Structure 1
Amino acid sequence: MATTPNSTSPLSQFSFQFYNRPGISWSTRQKTEFIDELRACASRCLDPIPDYQCLSYSPSSLDDKLIAVARLGSSTGPIAAFFSSVILTVPSLETPTTTIPVLHTGLTIAVPEVRSLGLSVILGAHVLLHMLEMQPLGYWFTGLAEVSSNLVNLARYGHNVFPSPNISPSPSDMHLHIARAIASSTQTRAKFSISPEAVFDEASFVFRGANPPGSCFRKNSDDEQWHHRDKRFTSFYRKPLGVNEGNAVLVVGYILPSSILDPIRKESRLHGVTTGTKAKL
């Protein structure tokens, strides 16, 4: 099922869809066709296209993904942008024999001609809202980026996000627990596309050398196209990123119902974000 924003909005040219771990129930052909579509979109932004996340043809690559897409025109139109997240399981801090779900916000792609429309925020809201259906009291999330605008969006919509200019300069025990679980796991590093040689700085939550030379994710943090309009937040994240050093900042935070429901009510661009986008697949 798909939804389309109000016809007076520039976003009315898009049809939005949501997919909840489609790899579990789809046939091999369905998975391959969908990955082909995602890769066609990603090819406009990434060179080379990585064998990573929802872009991988691995048989299980879509099994743990929550994916929101924006298609041009109808629900069968080409994908112009997508937001693909990963559901991780992390040992509980209080009871290590049990696990808690952590949503990694993952991979966001928008083709250049639609990048200024804020589709990444809209698609991200779709994903955060649907995860809230599964975890109605709230849930922990992570994000990793060498792009300050992505980090700013996560800090603005999340609760108790570290690092952020709005909270303590030191991580809490839970922030550190989740970060260590990611940094110490070869498998999770691969899911995050973190170089095996990258060094994690627990004080700043920076993976130094996360994106080595030649990586399609390596960005120049001084380039203003990657900056957010919030200059204070942008300045905060640009400092640990360095200049073309391949560093990536890990943010860890919590999503409360109000974290996403309040913006959906208050921000006009998010008014079309509802559970009606869920694809019953």
Structure 2
Amino acid sequence: MDIRLDIPGGYRARIFERPGLWMQSDELDNLVADLRHVASKTLPAGDLMYGVFAGDRDRLEHSVITLISRRDDATPVAFNALALMNVDLGHRSEEVLHLGLVMVDPGLRSQGFSWVLYGLTCVLILFRNGMRPLWVSNVTQVPAVVGLVGQGFARVFPTAQTGPQERRSLLHLQLARSIMRHHRHVFGVGPDAGFDEDRFVITNAYTGGSDHLKKSFENAPKHRDQIVNEFCKDQLDYDRGDDVLQLGQMDMPTALSYFGREVPRGSLAALALAVGAAVLQRLAMPLWQWADTRRTFGILRPREQK
């Protein structure tokens, strides 16, 4: 996907799926520079050297990036860098979308970007993939994010809620074990970090490149529901640097709830067009690739010229 979407307030969102596979080198460098520009508003330059900030093409081949910029001068103000992980379950594999890193210019955190940064990409990929439930993962110590994920997705574990839909299943455990075994680099967790399988808590998590994201409980943004804040305070050791690993799903009921709960009314038409574009790409691209006899697309080879 390469989708543009105008959002209220004079901003534009652009979603890049796997840019490392198709972007030219200069375009890729400009994208990474935009991400670093947003990060520099929050963190000292050079502090983040993992993930998308490294500018590694191989890493960007497995990334989905949502970038929000001003429409008038194209200045980047916020982004969400997600990662696509192929998680091995032994008998089969499951694609999991890791919710990744979200950063917003501190002066613009009240502009209403959360519906774009925390759910839009998941909804588009859900529709593009034939509305099959999509597994998502999240690693954080921020109560506000823990609450957003717990309320915004289905079958999430762990959450502050304790209903039957929030219980750990065997599949939750299998996914978590495989993610911690093979994909720690995606969220900057070092090999020396521990993992509590009962609580899904990563202990001593800030040793693998994400060191400067570590926060105290007092400095971590809080959720409006005090139950979520108390859950994080009880489960995580902020002095040591713990994170919670959340696993859940984006499915059709969740997507419809997202439309009604999170999306501003003035953006519904634009979002409907974006969903239509994602579905059309899914349907039209194979036909276009099949009809193009001059270029190679995966297993499709160009016609031999006599």
Report SS of the residue matched to 1:245: coil
The count of residues paired between Structure 1 and Structure 2 equals: 269
Deviation track 1:212-271 (CA, whole Å, cap 9, x = no partner) reads: 499111011223x51011222222223212333211100011111121222212345376
Q: Which moved more, 1:192-201 or 1:253-262?
A: 253-262
**Structure 1: unaligned runs, 5 residues or longer:** 6-10
Aligned twin of 2:238: 243
Instruction: Give me the whole-angstrom Cα distance separating, in 2, the residues matched to 1:67 and 1:27.
Output: 16
Superposition deviation, residue 91 in structure 1: 2.4
Tell which structure's C-alpha radius of gyration is larger: 2
Instruction: Give me the whole-angstrom Cα distance separating, in 2, the residues matched to 1:66 and 1:272.
Output: 21
Instruction: Give me the whole-angstrom Cα distance separating, in 2, the residues matched to 1:234 and 1:276.
Output: 37
TM-score (norm 2): 0.80
Aligned twin of 1:8: none
Q: Give the conservation status (yes or no) of the 8 Å contact 1:212–1:246.
A: no
Deviation track 1:130-173 (CA, whole Å, cap 9, x = no partner) reads: 22023312111100002111111111111010001234585210
Amino acid at match of 1:252: L
Q: Give the conservation status (yes or no) of the 8 Å contact 1:130–1:275.
A: no
Matched, 1:166 2:155: no
Instruction: Give me the whole-angstrom Cα distance separating, in 2, the residues matched to 1:204 and 1:49.
Output: 30
Q: Give the conservation status (yes or no) of the 8 Å contact 1:83–1:107.
A: yes
Q: Choose between structure 1 and 2 for higher RCO, CA contacts under 8 A separated by at least 6 residues.
A: 1
Percentage of identical aligned residues: 22
Superposition deviation, residue 97 in structure 1: 4.1
Instruction: Give me the whole-angstrom Cα distance separating, in 2, the residues matched to 1:102 and 1:271.
Output: 31
- After superposition, where does 1:264-275 map in structure 2 within 5 Å? 264-269=259-264, 272=267, 274=271
- After superposition, where does 1:1-281 map in structure 2 within 5 Å? 1-5=3-7, 11-47=8-44, 48-74=46-72, 77-92=74-89, 96-135=90-129, 136-164=131-159, 165-167=161-163, 171-185=168-182, 188-212=183-207, 215-223=211-219, 226-269=221-264, 272=267, 274=271, 276-277=273-274
Q: Give the conservation status (yes or no) of the 8 Å contact 1:39–1:49.
A: no
Q: Which moved more, 1:18-27 or 1:112-121?
A: 112-121
Superposition deviation, residue 32 in structure 1: 0.9
TM-score (norm 1): 0.87
Superposition deviation, residue 98 in structure 1: 2.8
Instruction: Give me the whole-angstrom Cα distance separating, in 2, the residues matched to 1:54 and 1:120.
Output: 20
CA 198–159 in structure 1, closer or farther in 2 if over 3 Å, else same: same
Q: Give the conservation status (yes or no) of the 8 Å contact 2:189–2:207.
A: no
Amino acid at match of 1:63: E
**Structure 2: unaligned runs, 5 residues or longer:** 286-306
Alignment RMSD, CA only? 2.4
Instruction: Give me the whole-angstrom Cα distance separating, in 1, the residues matched to 2:265 and 2:94.
Output: 28
Deviation track 1:20-44 (CA, whole Å, cap 9, x = no partner) reads: 1111111111111110111111111
CA 49–127 in structure 1, closer or farther in 2 if over 3 Å, else same: farther
Q: Give the conservation status (yes or no) of the 8 Å contact 1:144–1:251.
A: yes
Instruction: Give me the whole-angstrom Cα distance separating, in 2, the residues matched to 1:91 and 1:134.
Output: 23
Deviation track 1:41-85 (CA, whole Å, cap 9, x = no partner) reads: 1111123432222212212121111111111234x6111111111
CA 33–121 in structure 1, closer or farther in 2 if over 3 Å, else same: same
